[in-house]
């Protein structure tokens, strides 16, 4: 359910064809009223349905913050386990191409502290499908973050059914010199930077953390124990973002395995500008990743 998800097929055509296939009772076009239809989705999940709620833009779901935090996240606990909340809340977010401040939100920082919510971020067609299927099957409320600039990615995916684990990170590139932790669109920026780093003789290990809550500390820890250096690259805000929480978890659990402090590249703590050059300046770019990795591996920081 959501705005224009039915006969229009979604603002980014993610739900194209579903209304014709499943009908108006399973694919619901809603009014522009996020608080109401998110609450309706959560209530439907309480009765046993498995609901998928789309925010046309993830920033709009701030209007449903009460429903998501006080109801979706907490009702299983506050009902003494009488209710399960198998709801998936999904939609496009992140910094697009001149979408302006209100349409460039990264809501993972807003929702990470809400008890009871799981959060995952997809970065490829393969893991988008696998994580979506896993989220729908989960009895927990799951927020699935899709990046507005990744919808045009194409990839051959298996014909047979597959479901990914919601709590597992993905080893994207094995390496021995440094661990780079990232997710969503920044995965592709890190891979761009890695091409240059490899040409210059470095061997970075790249992990797409995918699960933003909880973190897959088993995969992350094994990598840090091998490389002894870690860089976090995110599009989230620096203050109170996923990188800040991940860095704290790394310090708490793997301090003795580190040769230096964990470093983090994040977006600037400013509203995202509309002007393209200023917008780019607020977000981590591949060149910054290259410089930071070289500084860390050369012992300059």
**Residues with catalytic annotation?**
34, 103
Separation CA 114–CA 110 (nearest Å):
8
Write the CB contacts of 253 (distance below 8 Å, at least 6 apart in sequence).
217, 221
Among the residues of the chain, which ranges form H helices?
A: 18-22, 34-46, 65-66, 75-78, 108-111, 125-137, 186-199, 217-227, 242-254, 276-282, 286-297
- How deeply is 66 buried, as exposed, middle or buried, from its count of CB atoms within 10 A (0-12, 13-18, 19+)? exposed
Q: Name which of 246, 236, 231 is nearest 95 in CA terms.
A: 236
Longest dimension (CA), the chain: 60
Peptide bond into 95 cis (omega under 30): no
Question: Which tokens is 195 given?
Answer: 């091409």
Write the CB contacts of 168 (distance below 8 Å, at least 6 apart in sequence).
210, 211, 216, 219
Contact 238, 264 (CB under 8 A): yes
Task: Give CA 163 to chain center in angstroms.
Answer: 17
Separation CA 257–CA 229 (nearest Å):
9
Length of the chain measured in residues: 301
């Amino acid at each position: 359910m959501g705005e224009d998800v039915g006969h229009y097929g979604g603002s980014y055509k993610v739900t194209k064809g579903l209304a014709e296939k499943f009908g108006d009772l399973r694919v619901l076009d809603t009014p522009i009223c996020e608080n109401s239809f998110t609450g309706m989705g959560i209530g439907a999940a309480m009765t046993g349905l498995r609901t998928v709620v789309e925010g046309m833009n993830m920033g709009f779901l701030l209007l449903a913050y009460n429903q998501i935090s006080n109801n979706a996240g907490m009702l299983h606990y506050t009902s003494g386990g009488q209710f399960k909340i198998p709801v998936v809340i999904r939609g496009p977010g992140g910094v697009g191409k001149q979408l302006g401040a209100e349409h460039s939100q990264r809501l993972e920082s807003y929702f990470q502290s809400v008890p009871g919510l799981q959060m995952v971020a997809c970065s490829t067609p393969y893991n988008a499908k696998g994580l979506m299927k896993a989220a729908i099957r989960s009895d927990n409320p799951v927020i699935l973050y899709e990046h507005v600039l990744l919808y045009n990615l194409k990839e051959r995916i298996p014909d047979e059914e597959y479901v990914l684990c919601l709590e597992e990170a993905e080893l994207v590139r094995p390496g021995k010199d440094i661990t780079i932790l990232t997710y969503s669109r920044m995965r592709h920026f890190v891979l761009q930077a890695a091409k240059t780093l490899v040409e210059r003789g470095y061997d970075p290990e790249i992990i797409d953390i995918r699960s933003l809550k909880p973190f897959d500390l088993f995969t992350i820890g094994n990598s840090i124990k091998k490389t002894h250096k870690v860089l976090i690259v995110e599009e989230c805000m620096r203050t109170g973002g996923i990188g800040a929480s991940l860095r704290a978890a790394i310090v708490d659990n793997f301090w003795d395995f580190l040769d230096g402090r964990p470093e983090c590249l994040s977006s600037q703590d400013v509203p995202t500008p509309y002007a393209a050059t200023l917008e780019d300046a607020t977000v981590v770019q591949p060149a910054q990743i290259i410089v930071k990795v070289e500084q860390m591996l050369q012992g300059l920081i």
